Amino acid sequence: MLPESAGGYLSYWMLFVSILALFNTIQNFVTLSLTKRIYSARPDQVTALSSRTFAIWTLLSAIVRIYAAYNITEVNIYQIAIWTYVIAWLHFISEFFIFRSAKISAGWLSPVIVSTFSLIWMLSQYDYYTQQNIRKY
Protein backbone atom coordinates (compact mmCIF):
# COMPACT_ATOMS: atom_id res chain seq x y z
CA MET A 1 0.00 0.00 0.00
CA LEU A 2 2.95 2.35 0.49
CA PRO A 3 4.37 4.01 -2.60
CA GLU A 4 7.70 2.86 -3.94
CA SER A 5 10.42 5.07 -2.54
CA ALA A 6 12.32 5.47 -5.84
CA GLY A 7 15.43 5.57 -3.68
CA GLY A 8 14.32 8.32 -1.31
CA TYR A 9 11.72 9.33 1.23
CA LEU A 10 9.89 12.07 -0.65
CA SER A 11 7.07 9.79 -1.81
CA TYR A 12 6.42 8.74 1.80
CA TRP A 13 6.39 12.38 2.88
CA MET A 14 3.93 13.23 0.10
CA LEU A 15 1.62 10.42 1.21
CA PHE A 16 1.88 11.49 4.87
CA VAL A 17 1.07 15.12 4.03
CA SER A 18 -1.84 13.95 1.87
CA ILE A 19 -3.32 11.87 4.67
CA LEU A 20 -3.10 14.85 7.00
CA ALA A 21 -4.80 16.96 4.32
CA LEU A 22 -7.64 14.44 4.10
CA PHE A 23 -8.23 14.78 7.84
CA ASN A 24 -8.06 18.56 7.45
CA THR A 25 -10.65 18.36 4.69
CA ILE A 26 -13.05 16.48 6.95
CA GLN A 27 -12.56 18.86 9.87
CA ASN A 28 -13.25 21.83 7.57
CA PHE A 29 -16.65 20.34 6.76
CA VAL A 30 -17.39 19.61 10.43
CA THR A 31 -16.16 22.65 12.34
CA LEU A 32 -14.76 26.13 11.87
CA SER A 33 -12.58 26.06 14.97
CA LEU A 34 -9.33 24.77 13.42
CA THR A 35 -9.65 27.00 10.37
CA LYS A 36 -10.14 29.98 12.68
CA ARG A 37 -6.77 29.09 14.24
CA ILE A 38 -5.10 29.58 10.84
CA TYR A 39 -6.81 32.91 10.20
CA SER A 40 -6.59 33.96 13.83
CA ALA A 41 -6.14 37.67 13.10
CA ARG A 42 -9.59 37.77 11.47
CA PRO A 43 -11.55 34.73 12.73
CA ASP A 44 -14.79 36.62 12.03
CA GLN A 45 -14.06 36.19 8.30
CA VAL A 46 -14.03 32.40 8.58
CA THR A 47 -17.51 31.31 7.53
CA ALA A 48 -19.06 27.94 6.79
CA LEU A 49 -18.77 28.75 3.09
CA SER A 50 -15.09 29.74 3.27
CA SER A 51 -14.36 26.64 5.35
CA ARG A 52 -16.03 24.35 2.82
CA THR A 53 -14.16 26.08 -0.02
CA PHE A 54 -10.91 25.60 1.90
CA ALA A 55 -11.88 21.94 2.39
CA ILE A 56 -12.31 21.37 -1.35
CA TRP A 57 -9.04 23.15 -2.12
CA THR A 58 -7.30 20.98 0.48
CA LEU A 59 -8.91 17.83 -0.92
CA LEU A 60 -7.78 18.67 -4.45
CA SER A 61 -4.23 19.27 -3.22
CA ALA A 62 -4.30 15.96 -1.32
CA ILE A 63 -5.41 14.06 -4.42
CA VAL A 64 -2.66 15.58 -6.55
CA ARG A 65 -0.08 14.81 -3.87
CA ILE A 66 -1.29 11.20 -3.52
CA TYR A 67 -0.85 10.77 -7.26
CA ALA A 68 2.62 12.30 -6.94
CA ALA A 69 3.50 9.99 -4.07
CA TYR A 70 2.70 6.93 -6.16
CA ASN A 71 4.14 8.37 -9.39
CA ILE A 72 7.10 10.30 -8.00
CA THR A 73 9.19 9.83 -11.15
CA GLU A 74 6.54 11.15 -13.56
CA VAL A 75 7.68 14.64 -14.56
CA ASN A 76 4.25 16.19 -15.17
CA ILE A 77 2.74 14.86 -11.96
CA TYR A 78 5.83 15.97 -10.03
CA GLN A 79 5.52 19.47 -11.47
CA ILE A 80 1.81 19.71 -10.66
CA ALA A 81 2.55 18.61 -7.09
CA ILE A 82 5.17 21.34 -6.82
CA TRP A 83 2.52 23.86 -7.86
CA THR A 84 0.21 22.70 -5.05
CA TYR A 85 2.89 23.71 -2.57
CA VAL A 86 3.61 26.99 -4.35
CA ILE A 87 -0.08 27.90 -4.25
CA ALA A 88 -0.39 26.88 -0.59
CA TRP A 89 2.72 28.84 0.36
CA LEU A 90 1.58 31.94 -1.52
CA HIS A 91 -1.84 31.72 0.05
CA PHE A 92 -0.65 31.47 3.64
CA ILE A 93 2.08 34.08 3.20
CA SER A 94 -0.33 36.51 1.53
CA GLU A 95 -2.88 36.02 4.31
CA PHE A 96 -0.19 37.09 6.77
CA PHE A 97 1.56 39.90 4.88
CA ILE A 98 -1.09 41.29 2.54
CA PHE A 99 -4.57 40.49 3.85
CA ARG A 100 -3.57 40.43 7.52
CA SER A 101 -6.03 37.65 8.34
CA ALA A 102 -3.34 35.43 9.84
CA LYS A 103 -0.86 35.99 12.59
CA ILE A 104 2.09 33.95 13.77
CA SER A 105 0.57 31.05 15.65
CA ALA A 106 0.69 27.27 15.58
CA GLY A 107 -2.36 27.21 13.32
CA TRP A 108 -0.68 29.40 10.72
CA LEU A 109 2.88 28.15 11.13
CA SER A 110 2.03 24.50 10.51
CA PRO A 111 0.92 24.88 6.87
CA VAL A 112 3.65 27.46 6.20
CA ILE A 113 6.35 25.11 7.48
CA VAL A 114 4.94 22.08 5.63
CA SER A 115 4.56 23.95 2.35
CA THR A 116 8.00 25.57 2.61
CA PHE A 117 9.76 22.35 3.61
CA SER A 118 7.96 20.31 0.94
CA LEU A 119 8.59 22.87 -1.78
CA ILE A 120 12.31 23.09 -0.98
CA TRP A 121 12.58 19.30 -0.84
CA MET A 122 10.76 18.81 -4.13
CA LEU A 123 12.74 21.49 -5.95
CA SER A 124 16.07 20.26 -4.61
CA GLN A 125 15.32 16.67 -5.63
CA TYR A 126 13.62 17.43 -8.95
CA ASP A 127 16.36 15.98 -11.18
CA TYR A 128 16.89 12.95 -8.95
CA TYR A 129 13.28 11.81 -9.18
CA THR A 130 12.32 12.96 -12.67
CA GLN A 131 15.47 11.62 -14.33
CA GLN A 132 14.72 8.11 -13.04
CA ASN A 133 11.75 7.88 -15.37
CA ILE A 134 13.85 9.02 -18.33
CA ARG A 135 16.53 6.40 -17.56
CA LYS A 136 13.94 3.60 -17.85
CA TYR A 137 13.56 4.19 -21.59
Distance CA 51, CA 84 (A): 18
Write the single-letter amino acid at 74: E
When pLDDT is cut at 50, 70 and 90, the band that residue 15 belongs to is: very high
The angle formed by the CA atoms of residues 122, 125 and 130, to the nearest 5 degrees, is: 95
When pLDDT is cut at 50, 70 and 90, the band that residue 65 belongs to is: very high
Domain ranges of the chain: 10-135
Query: Is a pLDDT exceeding 60 seen at residue 137?
Result: no
Q: What is the pLDDT of residue 136?
A: 59
pTM for this prediction: 0.93
Q: What is the mean pLDDT of residues 31-51?
A: 97
Question: What's 74-119 look like in SS3?
Answer: CHHHHHHHHHHHHHHHHHHHHHHHCCCCCCCCHHHHHHHHHHHHHH
The model's pLDDT over 66-120, given as tens digits with 9 standing for 90+, comes to 999 999 999 999 999 999 999 999 999 999 999 999 999 999 999 999 999 999 9
When pLDDT is cut at 50, 70 and 90, the band that residue 4 belongs to is: confident
> Is the CB of residue 72 less than 8 Å from the CB of residue 78?
yes
Q: What is the pLDDT of residue 135?
A: 60
Neighbouring residues of 42: CB distance < 8 A, sequence distance ≥ 6: 99, 100, 101, 102
Closest alpha carbon to 67 in 56, 81, 55: 81
